[in-house]
Structure 1
């Protein structure tokens, strides 16, 4: 049997091709991100495997969850998770559109073919299609303290110039770095943290 990644590829391509042609790439990506997180939840995955639950009910549950927890006006953990994934500061004022008919039908098709478990892989392949289309790269920045707007803009501008690509920053905080930050883009890691510099110094002194 083909692995999940192989099975997910045609669904991801079909999803991206449609979204790209209709100018809804970000909307579909946002839904796939949240849906992939939900499907990875152990309790939800067990529910998905229940043959007593209809395919229509399963797909509707995912769509309803997104519409109420993300597209709804109130703040929620899912909305904060989505904001963070986009490199933005979580805000209750951020608004996202509800799931479209086309996207709902796509989820329904996955459910009818018993492929909802592929959503995490579909999301990853979808992101790769988007990155290739936009020449976009993800930069994972871990800093000792939360980045200021000025620091975020400086990092993004410099990376975009050096990599000749659009850069999306994903932020996290690790106080153990002491100061500075580490930046990971693909397989490359830039360590400009105080902890990293101290480790380098220690290596040089003991060499």
Structure 2
């Protein structure tokens, strides 16, 4: 049987194509992110696998949760999760609409085909399609020490110029690098860390 990622691809492609054509890319992305987080919850996943629960009930539960916890006026944990996913805290100036009829129908189709469990993978593929559409790439920077604002800006500017794309920086710290940083974009890795340079020197000396 195909893995979950492979099964999710056509659903993500269809979702992004529709959302992109109808100016609803962010709306769909927000819902898929929250729905994927809910589906990843162990208790909710067990409930989804209960054959006694109808597909209609399953899809309605997801939509109702989003409408009440995200589209509502209350400052819920789901809204905080959305804010953190976008790299900033949720603000009251941001509003999220209730689930549209088209998005509701998409979730109903997933439920009827017993594919709601794919939502986390659908979300990841959806994000990829959005990034490609916007020529946006994710760069994972691991540094020995936290980056300064100037260092972050320099890395982002240089990567954007060399890749001819908008670059989103994801940061982490690994003291074992000693100094410098490693940068991963797609399957390409740039190792400019002291640890990497010492390893290269060791390799050259023993060659």
The reply to whether TM is greater than 0.5 is yes
- SS of residue matched to 1:172: strand
Greater alpha carbon shift after TM alignment, 5-14 vs 160-169: 5-14
Q: Offset at 1:176? A: 2.9
Q: Which residue in 2 is equivalent to 1:155?
A: 155
Q: Which residue in 2 is equivalent to 1:91?
A: 89
**Quick one: structure 1 residues 199 and 184, their matched pair in 2 at CA, closer, same or farther if it must change by over 3 Å?**
same
Consecutive unaligned residues of structure 1, counting only runs of 5 or more, are none
2:188 is the alignment partner of 1:188: yes
Runs of 4+ aligned structure 1 residues displaced above 6 Å come to none
Q: Which residue in 1 is equivalent to 2:99?
A: 100
Q: Deviations over 1:107-166 (max 9, x none)?
A: 232113221012133223323322332222221122233334433332222111101122
Q: Offset at 1:69? A: 5.5
**Quick one: structure 1 residues 57 and 142, their matched pair in 2 at CA, closer, same or farther if it must change by over 3 Å?**
farther
- SS of residue matched to 2:138: strand
**Quick one: structure 1 residues 79 and 6, their matched pair in 2 at CA, closer, same or farther if it must change by over 3 Å?**
same
- SS of residue matched to 1:183: strand
**Quick one: structure 1 residues 41 and 173, their matched pair in 2 at CA, closer, same or farther if it must change by over 3 Å?**
farther
**TM-score, reference length from structure 2:** 0.79
2: CA distance between counterparts of 1:141 and 1:188? 12
Consecutive unaligned residues of structure 2, counting only runs of 5 or more, are none
The answer to whether the 8 A contact 1:85-1:170 is kept is: no
Q: Which residue in 2 is equivalent to 1:24?
A: 24
Q: Which residue in 1 is equivalent to 2:44?
A: 44
Q: Which has the larger radius of gyration?
A: 2
| Structural RMSD (CA) | 2.9
1: CA distance between counterparts of 2:95 and 2:64? 14
2: CA distance between counterparts of 1:173 and 1:5? 29
Greater alpha carbon shift after TM alignment, 108-117 vs 6-15: 6-15
**Quick one: structure 1 residues 5 and 92, their matched pair in 2 at CA, closer, same or farther if it must change by over 3 Å?**
closer
2: CA distance between counterparts of 1:85 and 1:171? 14
**TM-score, reference length from structure 1:** 0.79
Q: Deviations over 1:73-99 (max 9, x none)?
A: 5363x555545544x2x4243745144
- SS of residue matched to 1:190: strand
Q: Offset at 1:190? A: 0.9
2: CA distance between counterparts of 1:129 and 1:151? 29
Q: Which residue in 2 is equivalent to 1:197?
A: 197
